[in-house]
Amino acid sequence: MGTTKLSEPGQFDIEKAILITSEGVEVDLGKSISEIVLYESIEANSITGHIAVFDTVGLSNIGPVVGMEYLKLVVGTSSLNNDKFKVNFDNNVLHVTKILDRKNSGNTSSTILEFVSSELIHSKRTRVNRVLKGSFSDLTKVLLQNDLQCKKDLYIETSLGQKQIITPNNTPFRLIAKFAQQAISKEHGSPTFHFYENLKGYHFRSLESLYSEGSKFTYVESTAGAKVGNTPGITSGPDVDAKLTRDLSVIQNYSILQGKDFLINAPLGGFSSTMIQHDIFYKKFDTFSYNYFDNREKEKHINSFAGDDDNPIYNDAFVDDQNRRITDFEYATFYTPTSRVKDENDVYQN
């Protein structure tokens, strides 16, 4: 399927949509698709989504479809001919995991299939039972490429420190999630790593790494379908491009998350905390302190990369007669073990 002219924002071309049944039968869904939805988030380690098809090809007879199928999907846009802008799951097929719904209306039936990217399925099938040595960023790359056979692009930020980790009966994704909780950025010195997948590939990187890339798109409040320019009745040329771009940038819906809850943030260490790190090899421990106001001078937040003032959401005024701020109290204490490995010169490193 394909179109020759872009007529509305969000328009796409289905170049390939092939369902491979559990018995190896290939079914072309290209002309039967009514909806495709893809979800990606920096909190999700896999792309998920669903596809709705009109059952004009007799899926119930050919399959049957039971939730064990594979989906080859290639989606492009008329105005972007470069392959890097396509949603391409041709070689890295999607896995159908669930039949969300089946509906019959008169002589027409429709089926909605839920799918995920293949690495999530492979992770659930894989167990890591060995000693891992290296930095968290290097170990993440090893698990993705060697254990999960991931062929997608990887965007992995370098982390500090060398680790030696014993992994009894763990899945790769579970291990990488733990790495993200402990990794510290070599460039920014921050512990804000996230592990996620988007349409570009897999990412293991800090929030500061994302902030430093700058804005990719600007969304505005406007009325979808409004005319652009001085010429009445937009038909072609720059006015059409401006209209499509503005329609694409219109905010459909939004919500403001409220994170200012003292009773929740304080016990979690959001204002201040102490971390005790125990070195079992050298039989010693180190203590590290965090203070929301004092540490902000060393941290970089999203406004810092945009060149704007970075103001805290809380006030640093004194709250008692001892001239203490809300961050000068001890709210939480954390304990963590550390491990060390030898380098080639027999020098122990964290």
Q: Could you list the mean pLDDT of each consecutive 10-residue stretch along the chain, which spans 350 residues?
A: 61 88 86 89 94 76 78 83 81 90 73 93 95 95 96 95 89 96 91 94 95 82 64 58 76 76 87 89 87 86 79 88 93 80 45
Residue 228 sits in which domain range? 222-254
Residue 88 in domain: yes
If asked whether residues 76 and 149 sit together in one domain, one would say: no
If asked whether residues 272 and 334 sit together in one domain, one would say: yes
If asked whether residues 29 and 92 sit together in one domain, one would say: yes
CATH assignment of the domain containing 176:
3.55.50.20
If asked whether residues 20 and 100 sit together in one domain, one would say: yes
Domain end, chosen from 77, 96, 119, is at 119
Q: Is-contact 51 112, C-beta < 8 A? A: yes
Residue 348 in domain: no
Residue 300 in domain: yes
Q: Is-contact 75 36, C-beta < 8 A? A: yes
If asked whether residues 230 and 183 sit together in one domain, one would say: no
Residue 187 in domain: yes
136 φ, ψ to 5°? Answer: -60, -35
Residue 7 in domain: no
If asked whether residues 134 and 231 sit together in one domain, one would say: no
Residue 284 contacts by C-beta under 8 Å, 6 or more apart in sequence?
A: 278
pLDDT for the residue 345: 44
Query: Quick one: 279 exposed, middle or buried, by C-beta within 10 A (0-12, 13-18, 19+)?
Result: middle
Q: What is the model's pTM?
A: 0.81
Residue 28 in domain: yes
If asked whether residues 34 and 52 sit together in one domain, one would say: yes
Residue 207 in domain: yes
Domain end, chosen from 200, 234, 254, is at 254
E strands present in 118-184: 128-134, 154-156, 163-170
If asked whether residues 32 and 110 sit together in one domain, one would say: yes
If asked whether residues 26 and 94 sit together in one domain, one would say: yes
Domain end, chosen from 236, 254, 272, is at 254
Beta-ladder partners of 312? none
Number of domains comprising the chain: 4
pLDDT for the residue 231: 54
If asked whether residues 63 and 132 sit together in one domain, one would say: no
Distance spanning both ends of the chain, measured CA to CA: 55
Residue 1 in domain: no
Burial 290-321 (b: 16+ CB within 10 A, else e): bebbeebeeebbeeebeeeeeeeebeeeeeee
If asked whether residues 312 and 291 sit together in one domain, one would say: yes
User: What whole-number distance in Å separates Cα of residue 16 and Cα of residue 106?
Assistant: 29
pLDDT for the residue 347: 45
pLDDT for the residue 228: 60
Taking alpha carbons only, the member of 91, 42, 100, 101 closest to residue 70 is 91
pLDDT for the residue 207: 93
If asked whether residues 23 and 109 sit together in one domain, one would say: yes
